[in-house]
Amino acid sequence: MPERPNVLILFTDQQRADTVRAHGNPHIQTPTMDRLAHEGTSFSSAYCATPVCIASRCSMILSQWAHQTGCTTNSAMPQERTSFMEIFQDAGYQTRGVGKMHFAPDSRTLWGFDARDYSEEGGFRADDDYCRFVHDNGYDHVREMMGTRSEYYYIPQPSMLPPRLHNTTWVADRSLDFLRSRDTDRPFLLWSSFIKPHPPFETPTPWHRLYKPIDMPLPHMPADYEALQTYWNRRQNRYKYRDQGFDWNLLRTMRAAYNACVSHVDYHAGRILSYLEETGQLENTIVLWTSDHGEMLGDFGCFGKRSIFDAAARIPMIVRYPERFEAGAVCTTPCSNVDVAPTLLEAAGLNTIDQHEGVDLAGLARGDDPGRPGVLVQYSQRESGLYGLVTDELKYVYSAADDQEWLFRRWPGEPEERSIAGNQAYVGHTAAMRETLTDWLRRDNYTEVLDAEGWRVYPPEDRPTVDTNPDHGLLYQEGADWAPMFPEGYGPTSTPQAGAGSVLHAKK
């Protein structure tokens, strides 16, 4: 019986698909991803099932579309279903999860991992392995070890930690510890999950100086870009403090900081690959690099995810396993992170289960018919639902909150430019895409958002709106009680104190 292959998943959070130098981006350094692209197969039309952390990971590990899992936002995952990690575990694999998994509602669940090195985003938590590690190493004064959030969320910032204690380093270190101490009589499945480049965009010295803002391209903002924004684009801009004008120097600095986060992860992921190569394990290891979703980063005047624009919904997807994936190949057929589980299982010689909706990416790269008209992308549901269908040549988007649809031509290597949904030359194409998507949902009995004519139109009073008050809905994720940390006579407050003089936040 041939030796069963190992599995290594190199997973990032909020990484755009266009952040790989080998895929045509001259503004970034990514030698590890470049190597994987040269030695493996890249999927240039890979999309997440849902452009938000929890829901995307849910669809990936269960191999089901968002309308099937019911997890369409950062909400609870269906716990009674089987993750692909459980299938590997049952087959005798030693399974390990390192870093952010973002499982919900119980973030500490194993769900098929023998053990986890636990780390989730946000501020200090005493039950978090990484947080304790930082404090045990003499940095107990640091409460926001992954960067300051809330109003600073999209403000580039250097890390408050030295490189050896940064979360990106920690994920690689813990992954290497597992590989050095694992049971060599069993194959392994290792999921190394990095939180970056998820905001805040912070890296340790000297990585925060890797790129100069002047060298960064400005965001993609085509003519009439505001007409392409959905309710969720506008809402995110508000609560991420990015809806009151553009500072072009800040935007380029933001992009430089974001790219630095990607390169920093790339370097530490390279350490894991190098160890496998040095120990003779790389050729018998399926290596997958992917992310949960992208980041708008100013494109179309937008920030965050929760969008079906390519910047937010298209993800890197590279697979290296010479036995099944051709070196240097590029597959342009639309695929999804729903396809990850079947791909890994097929490569390991394990069976998929009835639950799985995805296809084997190796077959897709060979030209096999995936048996579907495209891939689905969805965020939220009912009156705030955002739905998309991506095919070889077109992308269709419908926003229930706006009661509006958009249709984009897909040109290789280019972002969306202009919606053709209202163009008379494409009325038939728009109707056909709408029908294909709604028929797909109807076949799966996902009919709450549909009526006899197609999309259900919600009454205006049921549709969410972005409040015109510029201070309404701003995000606060401080994650710590700051008051005890201030000297006597000082402390944070939400309102200026009368008679406080020039010290607006002094305590009475």
Its pTM stands at 0.95
- Which residues, including other chains, have CB under 8 Å from residue 34's CB and lie 6 or more apart? 20, 21, 22
Q: Which residues contact 220 (CB under 8 A, 6 or more apart)?
A: 299, 300, 311, 415
Q: What angle do CA 180, 182, 185 make, to 5 degrees?
A: 125
Q: How many CB atoms lie within 10 A of CB 167?
A: 25
Give, in degrees to the nearest 5, the angle at Cα 199 between 196 and 201: 80
Average pLDDT over residues 212-239: 96
Query: Residue 139 maps to which CATH number?
Result: 3.40.720.10
> Residue 24 corresponds to which tokens in the numbers above?
């045509």
Residue 424 covered by a domain: no
In a domain, 173, yes or no: yes
Tell me how far apart the alpha carbons of residues 219 and 221 are, in angstroms, rounded to a whole number.
6
Helix (H) or strand (E) holding 118: strand 115-118
Which amino acid is located at 237 in the chain? N
From residue 227, how far is each of 224, 233, 416 by CA, in Å? 6, 11, 13
pLDDT tops 80 at residue 399: yes
Tell me the DSSP string of 200-213.
Answer: S----TTGGGSS-G
Residue pLDDT, tens place only, 131-181: 999 999 999 999 999 999 989 999 999 999 999 999 999 999 999 999 999
**What pLDDT score does 394 carry?**
98
Residue 166: closest CA among 192, 195, 141:
195
175 within some domain: yes
Using alpha carbons only, how large is the chain's radius of gyration in Å?
A: 23
CA distance 388 to 429: 14
The boundaries of the domain holding residue 145 are: 6-370
pLDDT in tens, 300-337: 999 999 999 999 999 999 999 999 999 999 999 999 99
Q: What is the pLDDT of residues 110-124, one digit of tens each?
A: 999 999 999 999 889
The answer to the question of residue 127 being in a domain is: yes
Is 446 contained in some domain? no
Q: Is residue 441 part of a domain?
A: no
What phi, psi does 405 have (nearest 5°)?
-125, 155
The count of other CB atoms within 10 Å of the CB of residue 303 is 26
**Cross-strand pairs, 6:** 285
Q: What is the largest CA-CA distance in the chain?
A: 81
Closest to 344 in 3D by CA, of 287, 273, 293, 292: 287
In a domain, residue 410? The reply is no
Helix (H, G, I), strand (E, B) or coil at 88: helix
Q: What is the number of structural domains in the chain?
A: 1
Neighbours of 279 (CB within 10 A): 11
Query: Does residue 145 fall inside a structural domain?
Result: yes
Q: How far apart are CA 174 and CA 272, in angstroms?
A: 10
pLDDT tens column, 446-469:
999 999 989 999 998 887 777 778
Q: What is the per-residue pLDDT across 7-58, written as a single tens digit (0 to 9) for each?
A: 999 999 999 999 999 999 999 999 999 999 999 999 999 999 999 999 999 9
CB neighbours of residue 495 within 10 Å: 7
CB 85 within 8 A of CB 62: no
Report the Cα–Cα distance between both ends of the chain, in Å, rounded. 76
